[in-house]
Amino acid sequence: MNETQNTSIPDPANDKPMTGQNEFDKPSSGPAKPKAMQLTPEAMAKGLGWFSIALGVAELLAPKATAQATGVNYGKNLLQAYGVREIATGIGLLTSKDPQPWLWGRVAGDALDLATLAADLVSNSHKRRNTAMAMIAVMGVTALDVWAAETARREAARTAQPPRDYSDRVGMALPPDEMRGKAREAMQSAQDLQTPSALKPYTLH
């Protein structure tokens, strides 16, 4: 290779060739950083809807297994009734344009579950640990439901506000004919905008 074709210049600081390309010009290396996921009210409603349907189907079709897995002692009929409620709420969340009523419905269902578990905690003394664990899990789900319902309410209130009307705004305080020449008059009257007398061109009188 001809030496005149090599444009790299040795760097005396680190003995690395300098090619004229700095670090900002180089493409970034390494794995690309994933974009931050935005959890919208619609996405939260859809997720909670599928969760309700899955839990409801389990309670309706396999009440005994669900009771053993969760540690509750509702009884078959009551657990299946709660399963129907969960399925109806899930379908409402997945199909409704406004998820707010269904999200608050989930909060009400969570309150009913906690009341039932509290009664079970008193009556079912030999499985209190399982019932207490189930209550903690329902409390966590309740907090998520309240957060989702409140977020959906705020988003609906924000989007319901009418857009600002600027149709009555004008760029000039007066009609164009009245504004013509105003800027020149203002500049002529302002002393700080005038050329100092010492800098004005010399004229013979």
The position carrying tokens 């309706």 is 60
Q: How confident is the model at residue 8 (pLDDT cuts 50, 70, 90)?
A: very low
Q: How confident is the model at residue 89 (pLDDT cuts 50, 70, 90)?
A: very high
- Distance from C-alpha of 90 to C-alpha of 137, rounded to nearest angstrom: 19
Check: CB of residue 58 under 8 Å from CB of residue 66: yes
pLDDT digits (tens, 9 = 90+) for 165-201: 888 777 777 888 888 888 888 888 887 777 877 787 7
pLDDT at 85: 94
Highest mean pLDDT among 66-80, 144-158, 165-179: 144-158
Share of the chain above pLDDT 90, in %: 28
- Distance from C-alpha of 59 to C-alpha of 81, rounded to nearest angstrom: 8
Number of Cβ atoms within 10 Å of the Cβ of 155: 14
- Distance from C-alpha of 153 to C-alpha of 151, rounded to nearest angstrom: 5
Residue 31 has pLDDT above 80, yes or no: no
Residue 9 has pLDDT above 50, yes or no: no
Residue 2 has pLDDT above 50, yes or no: no
Residue 57 has pLDDT above 90, yes or no: yes
Q: How many residues make up the chain in this entry?
A: 205
Check: CB of residue 149 under 8 Å from CB of residue 110: no
Between the CA of residue 138 and those of 34, 104, 144, 193, what are the distances in Å?
A: 32, 15, 10, 73
pLDDT at 188: 82
- Of the listed ranges 20-29, 57-66, 138-147, the least confidently predicted one is 20-29
Q: How confident is the model at residue 34 (pLDDT cuts 50, 70, 90)?
A: low
Q: Output 181 or 28, whichever has higher pLDDT.
A: 181
pLDDT at 112: 92
The position carrying tokens 């905008």 is 193
Cβ neighbours for 74, distance < 8 A, ≥ 6 positions apart? 63, 67, 82, 116, 120
pLDDT at 193: 79
